[in-house]
Amino acid sequence: MALHMKAQMIRGTAGRGPQNGEVMNSEYDFNKEVSDKYSLRGRVFHKIRNDILNGRYKEHEELKEIRIGKELGVSRTPVREALRQLELEGLVQIIPNRGAFVTGINENDVRDIYAIRALLEGLCARWATERVTPEQLESMEENVYLAEFHAAKGHMEQIAELDNQFHHILYEACGSKMLEHQLVDYHSYVMRIRKKTLSTIERSTASNKEHRAIMEAIRAGKADLAERLASEHMKNAYENMVKNRLYDIYKNTEG
């Protein structure tokens, strides 16, 4: 479908709720999760994990199995198993005879995550240049176009969601499930700060311009350029974060 036709479709749907093909809110909803997407333990794990990464549970806060089980309508067993899995990720610490406590993500973790992402997203873009499918390339182009449209309208929530989608398209396009898995995890670890980073038109517009440059380099088959641009994209995001002190939400407030 030509891009000008997509623009007409978008304009025609302005002011309505999300329809097929439109931007959807990706916030995790335990009760609406498709039953066969995750096991019960998996759904409990993802709910607790999202609550930690969204800041609902604070650093050092105790995660009580009984309370969480009642909130989610499950027994203690899947909660206990989820907490053990979260401990392996470094988001929870289980202390024998005391309980499970939130470790979470702090400002040093955020710094390290963006440094790692700068390397891995560069590699991802390089591999995507070699492995991207025509459908994935079309999805990237459409994503960039939609983000430009919503930026002109000041639709910040849609811009943030499209930013998420661009990165997931890029991760899939690299053709490596191992790299994709790592990048999806790192991407989710900093979801709180990313929402703040993209909360201004200035940064969200700059971010989408960087997306367009990455997409065009991939389309042109310029692997070196795509790698450099994707790496710089992560560095720019972190520098914007530091400049505006957005990472303060991760500061350890322990006295």
Quickly list DSSP for 190-232. Answer: THHHHHHHTSSHHHHHHHHHHHHHHHHHHHTT-HHHHHHHHHH
Check whether residue 94 and residue 115 sit in a common domain. Answer: no
User: Does 245 lie in the same domain as 177?
Assistant: yes
How many structural domains comprise the chain? Answer: 2
All residues at 6 or more sequence positions from 43 whose CB lies less than 8 Å from its CB, including other chains: 30, 33, 37
Give residue 89's domain range: 40-102
Q: Which residues pair with 4 in a beta bridge?
A: none
Residue 92 and residue 132 in one domain: no
C-alpha to C-alpha distance for 226 and 218, rounded to whole angstroms: 6
Statement to judge: residues 54 and 154 lie in one domain:
no
- Residues 137, 225, single domain; the answer is yes
Residue ranges of the alpha helices (H) in the chain? 3-13, 40-53, 65-72, 76-89, 107-131, 134-153, 156-173, 177-189, 191-197, 201-219, 223-243
Same structural domain for residues 217 and 137? yes
Among 253, 250, 218, 255, smallest CA distance to 233 is for 218
Cα dist from 32 to 23, 28, 165, 171, whole Å: 18, 9, 20, 25
The tens-digit pLDDT sequence of the chain (255 residues) is 444 444 443 444 333 444 444 444 444 444 444 343 468 888 899 899 989 888 888 888 999 999 999 999 999 999 999 999 999 888 999 999 899 999 878 888 889 999 999 999 999 999 999 999 999 999 999 999 999 999 888 888 888 899 999 999 999 999 999 999 999 999 888 877 777 777 777 888 899 999 999 999 999 999 999 999 999 999 999 998 888 776 666 665 443
CATH number at residue 98: 1.10.10.10
- Give the CATH number, domain containing residue 177: 1.20.120.530
pTM over 0.75: no
